């Protein structure tokens, strides 16, 4: 741990990639595993454009359930540690696969939300977006301007990443001295390849995760445990 702490402390440019494990420690339901099931449905079968086209009401019932669950969650010490280190580094970017907004709630501002934001809704008709944190009385909700169906402002399986967030992440991977990969299973592309990109150009890669992942083998340091416990030590 001492060597990894030194790499983080001495680097000028730091990138952090976070996944569902970081939010799970705050009580946010994950997609994978028994806790991810909803009405005996695999959520990954609902998070697709095809599922929304077939049954937008059912997809929205699931997202409304998720939004209710997330609404009661608060940032954990891992979120707070990342917000604190951002203030110390001249060149920093937090790239997250999480859509729950907990990083922002903890104070993170230099942030690339590559899978979108569950609190944003977008009209499939006119394209207008807005932030909406309250429940919808009628599902599926419709746009007040054009009457089109509203959809969650998240990236579904099979959809491209938001260009601005994706490009910011790629630019950072080309210059960061250290990349920390925390709480991600490293199986969802393209984020699953970010560690290899940074490693190829000479960055130190540090993994924080309870379990071994596909990127473990290329990491310069690996720490097994909860990010809420390990990140404050690593970044402190």
Contact 113, 96 (CB under 8 A): yes
pLDDT of 36 over the 70 cut: no
- Chain mean pLDDT for the chain: 94
Q: Which residue shows structure tokens 């917000």?
A: 83
In the three-class reduction of DSSP (H, G, I as helix; E, B as strand; rest coil), residue 154 is classed as: strand
Cross-strand bridge partners of residue 95 = 17, 112
Active site residue 115: yes
pLDDT of 32 over the 60 cut: no
Residues 6+ positions from 125 with CB-CB distance below 8 Å: 143, 146, 147, 148, 149
Q: Give the confidence band of 188 by pLDDT, cuts at 50, 70, 90.
A: confident
Query: What's the average model confidence in pLDDT over 4-22?
Result: 97
Rounded to the nearest 10 degrees, how much is the dihedral formed by the CA atoms of 234, 180, 156, 59? -10
The residue annotated as part of the active site, out of 104, 115, 151, 226, is 115
Query: In the chain, what are the domain boundaries?
Result: 1-28+75-115+161-236, 30-72+117-154
What pLDDT, on a 0 to 100 scale, did the predictor assign at position 225? 97
What pLDDT, on a 0 to 100 scale, did the predictor assign at position 31? 64
Rg from Cα positions in the chain = 18
Contact 105, 74 (CB under 8 A): yes
Contact 10, 178 (CB under 8 A): no
Contact 115, 161 (CB under 8 A): yes
Total number of residues shown for the chain: 236
Q: Give the confidence band of 37 by pLDDT, cuts at 50, 70, 90.
A: very low
Query: What's the average model confidence in pLDDT over 9-18?
Result: 98
Helix axes 227-235, 2-10, angle to 10 degrees: 60
Query: What's the average model confidence in pLDDT over 30-47?
Result: 65
68, 91, 184, 221 from 64: Cα distances, Å: 6, 36, 24, 39
30-72+117-154: CATH number: 3.30.1600.10
Q: Give the confidence band of 43 by pLDDT, cuts at 50, 70, 90.
A: confident
Query: What's the average model confidence in pLDDT over 19-42?
Result: 74
Lowest-pLDDT range, 9-13, 39-43, 123-127?
39-43
Each residue's pLDDT tens digit, 120-159: 999 999 999 999 999 999 999 999 999 999 999 999 999 9
43, 185, 198, 215 from 193: Cα distances, Å: 23, 12, 9, 8
67, 166, 173, 207, 225 from 230: Cα distances, Å: 27, 27, 23, 10, 7
Query: What's the average model confidence in pLDDT over 79-101?
Result: 97
Fold of 1-28+75-115+161-236: Rossmann fold (3.40.50)
pLDDT of 59 over the 80 cut: yes
Token pair belonging to 79: 């979120």
Q: How far apart are CA 116 and CA 163, in angstroms?
A: 11
């Amino acid at each position: 741990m001492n060597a990894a702490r030194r790499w983080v402390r001495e680097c000028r440019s730091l990138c952090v990639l976070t996944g569902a494990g970081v939010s799970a420690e705050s009580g946010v339901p994950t997609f994978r595993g028994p806790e991810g099931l909803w009405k005996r449905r695999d959520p990954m079968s609902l998070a697709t454009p095809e599922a929304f086209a077939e049954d937008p009401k059912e997809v929205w019932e699931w997202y409304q359930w998720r939004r209710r669950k997330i609404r009661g969650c608060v940032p954990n010490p891992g979120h707070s540690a990342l917000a604190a280190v951002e203030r110390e580094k001249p060149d920093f970017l937090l790239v997250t696969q999480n859509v729950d907004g907990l990083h922002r709630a903890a104070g993170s501002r230099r942030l690339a939300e590559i899978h979108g934001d569950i609190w944003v809704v977008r009209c499939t008709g006119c394209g207008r977006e807005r932030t909406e944190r309250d429940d919808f009385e009628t599902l599926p909700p419709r746009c007040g301007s054009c009457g089109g169906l509203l959809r969650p402002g998240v990236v579904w399986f099979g959809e491209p990443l938001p260009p601005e967030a994706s490009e910011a992440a790629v630019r950072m991977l080309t210059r960061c001295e250290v990349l920390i990969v925390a709480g991600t299973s490293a199986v969802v592309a393209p984020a699953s390849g970010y560690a290899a990109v940074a490693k190829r150009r000479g960055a130190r890669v540090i993994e924080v995760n309870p379990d071994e992942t596909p990127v473990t083998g290329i990491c310069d340091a690996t720490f097994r445990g909860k990010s809420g416990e390990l990140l404050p030590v690593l970044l402190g």
